[in-house]
Amino acid sequence: MQSYNFQFQSNFEELETLEEKLQSIVGFDSLDHTKQYEIMLVLSEAITNGIEHGNGLDPKKVVHLKAETNESTWVFEVSDEGKGFDPKILENPVEEEYMLRDHGRGWFLMGHYATSISWDETNKCLRITFNI
3-state secondary structure the chain: CEEEEEEEECCHHHHHHHHHHHHCCCCCCCCCHHHHHHHHHHHHHHHHHHHHHHCCCCCCCEEEEEEEECCCEEEEEEECCCCCCCHHHCCCCCCHHHCCCCCCCHHHHHHHHCCEEEEECCCCEEEEEEEC
- Of the chain, the percentage scoring pLDDT greater than 90 comes to 76
pLDDT confidence band for 104 (50 / 70 / 90):
low
pLDDT digits (tens, 9 = 90+) for 80-99: 999 887 777 665 545 666 55
Compute the average pLDDT of residues 4-27.
97
What is the model's pTM?
Answer: 0.89
CATH architecture under which domain 2-131 falls = 2-Layer Sandwich (3.30)
> Greater confidence, 70 or 96?
70
Q: How confident is the model at residue 109 (pLDDT cuts 50, 70, 90)?
A: confident
103 pLDDT above the threshold of 60: no
